[in-house]
Amino acid sequence: MRRLSLICLLAPLLLLTELVTSAPSGPPQDNHRRSSKSLRLKTRRVNKPALRRRQDDSGDEFLATTGWDPKEFQYEISVGFGTPLQDILLVIDTGSSDTWAFPPDLCSITPGCFWSFDPDQSSTYELVSKDAFTIEYEEGTTVASGDFFTDTLSFESGVQVDDVQLGLATAITGNLSWGVMGLGFDTGESKPLYPNLIDMLVKSGTIDTPLFSLWSSLIGPDSGGFILFGDVDETAYKGDITWRPMVADEDGTYKDYLITLTGWGTTASPSKQLTTVSVNVDLLLDSGTTNIVLPPDMYNSLVGYLPFTVANRNVDCTVPPGSVDFYFGDDLKISIPFQSLVLPTPGAATGCAWGMEPAKDGDWLILGDTFLQNAYVAYDLANYRYGIAPTNYG
């Protein structure tokens, strides 16, 4: 999700309605693992609600849900907070590091909020620090703040991890309605730093190493995928996985999953290369952002080489075969089919939306979900590297 400096940015809200187009194949079978200790969890693609400002009878403004935004999507995961466990759905976010939820009272007055955690109903809840949890989103225009606490975190597989530090938002400004599972480096957390979810999975013996990988399906009525903590699933990608170093900050620390793009190109079917361009650009791997966000000059150049027209991110819903190709060194190419970059906008007179956009001033450059649904990515936090390969849809 788009982040603000050292703290995480969350793209707006989600609902449980899934995008509906042609159904993809199911995820690969989980029959090849290299580690004896791992945790595999299902994920699901969800739409964001369309929020609009409205006025009540007295003229005061408020936010209201006015349906769904089918061209914006993210991924959710089901977890349990507390004892006895309370089921909560969280947004999976590689662009942030804190895991947090809404309490019932705040959720009840927040448009689009359906899942909350009540600490009074948990016998294992322990307050760590009051009013110490703060996360800023979208250039600081959206803020979640509240308390830090520890409690038991439970997963659908039956795994439980005790004494996980979590956030409980007691105040929200801006467009937030969903809790977050932040999977970034602990250096990106709200301060002071603490052992985050991945650290606690290692400490508890659930996994051997601080590593996770994501498999995301193409758009479909049952679309989703899985997250695998502690291992890489070799059936989930084609060919060999290639490992590359992540990009450190200027001070030498690693705060974000930044990777270096070395080139881009476009290809028309059958395998007719339209162009290739060498670049050296660092982008954020961010499962919490829908689109690919590129420097404006790169975006405009790329769109100019497409064998169809993209105008203000509007595009025909049916496009010719072909792909946008991204290069990460000389020996690694991830191809994004044109059609997987076309996002439906039901009822819109302008057709469909294009799953890329030019960055605005202050925006992060991002490889979001329209990229990640075509790439299997592993995040190795211990060695500050990422592994990447073309996705295998089974």
Q: Which of 256, 286, 369, 380 is catalytic?
A: 286
Are residues 255 and 172 both part of a single domain? Answer: no
279: DSSP letter: E
At 215-232, the pLDDT tens digits run: 987 655 456 789 999 999
Are residues 202 and 163 both part of a single domain? Answer: yes
At 358-377, the pLDDT tens digits run: 998 878 899 998 999 999 99
d(CA 309, CA 373): 23
Q: Which of 43-47, 49-53, 173-177, 207-211 has the lowest mean pLDDT?
A: 49-53
274 Cβ contact partners less than 8 Å away, ≥ 6 residues apart: 265, 266, 267, 268, 305, 307, 322
At 122-131, the pLDDT tens digits run: 999 999 999 9
Task: Let me know how long the chain is.
Answer: 394
Overall average pLDDT of the 333-346 stretch: 90
pLDDT given for residue 73 in this prediction: 63
Are residues 52 and 159 both part of a single domain? Answer: yes
- Would 78 be classed as within a structural domain? yes
Are residues 282 and 214 both part of a single domain? Answer: no
- Specify the 3-state DSSP secondary structure of 91: strand
d(CA 69, CA 93): 19
- Would 177 be classed as within a structural domain? yes
312 Cβ contact partners less than 8 Å away, ≥ 6 residues apart: none
- Would 264 be classed as within a structural domain? yes
pLDDT given for residue 349 in this prediction: 57
Beta bridge partners of 379: 212, 386
User: How many domains are contained in the chain?
Assistant: 2
Phi-psi region of 183 (alpha: psi -120 to 50; beta: other; left: phi over 0): alpha
Confidence label for 139 from pLDDT (cuts 50, 70 and 90): low
d(CA 79, CA 180): 11
Is residue 380 annotated as part of the catalytic site, yes or no? no
Are residues 242 and 182 both part of a single domain? Answer: no
Q: For position 119, which CATH number holds?
A: 2.40.70.10
- Would 147 be classed as within a structural domain? yes
Are residues 78 and 196 both part of a single domain? Answer: yes
Are residues 201 and 259 both part of a single domain? Answer: no
Closest CA to 73 of 18, 1, 114: 18
Is residue 286 annotated as part of the catalytic site, yes or no? yes
Say if residue 314's pLDDT is above 60. Answer: yes
- Would 68 be classed as within a structural domain? yes
Q: Work out the mean pLDDT of the chain and round it to a whole number.
A: 82
pLDDT given for residue 15 in this prediction: 33
Question: What are the backbone dihedrals phi and psi of residue 107, each rounded to the nearest 5 degrees, phi first?
Answer: -60, -35
- Specify the 3-state DSSP secondary structure of 148: strand
- Would 17 be classed as within a structural domain? no
Are residues 196 and 269 both part of a single domain? Answer: no
Are residues 152 and 64 both part of a single domain? Answer: yes
282 Cβ contact partners less than 8 Å away, ≥ 6 residues apart: 247, 258, 259, 260, 261, 365
- Would 26 be classed as within a structural domain? no
Query: What residues make up the domain containing 383?
Result: 235-390
In this prediction, what percent of the chain has a pLDDT beyond 70?
A: 79
Cβ pair 77, 92 in contact under 8 A = yes
Are residues 218 and 270 both part of a single domain? Answer: no
- Would 69 be classed as within a structural domain? yes
| Last-in-domain residue among 185, 208, 226 | 226
Residue pointed to by tokens 């309490």: 103
Q: Pick from 48-62, 68-82, 139-153, 289-303 the range whose average pLDDT is largest.
A: 289-303
Phi-psi region of 94 (alpha: psi -120 to 50; beta: other; left: phi over 0): alpha
| Last-in-domain residue among 174, 204, 226 | 226
d(CA 176, CA 171): 10
Are residues 253 and 222 both part of a single domain? Answer: no
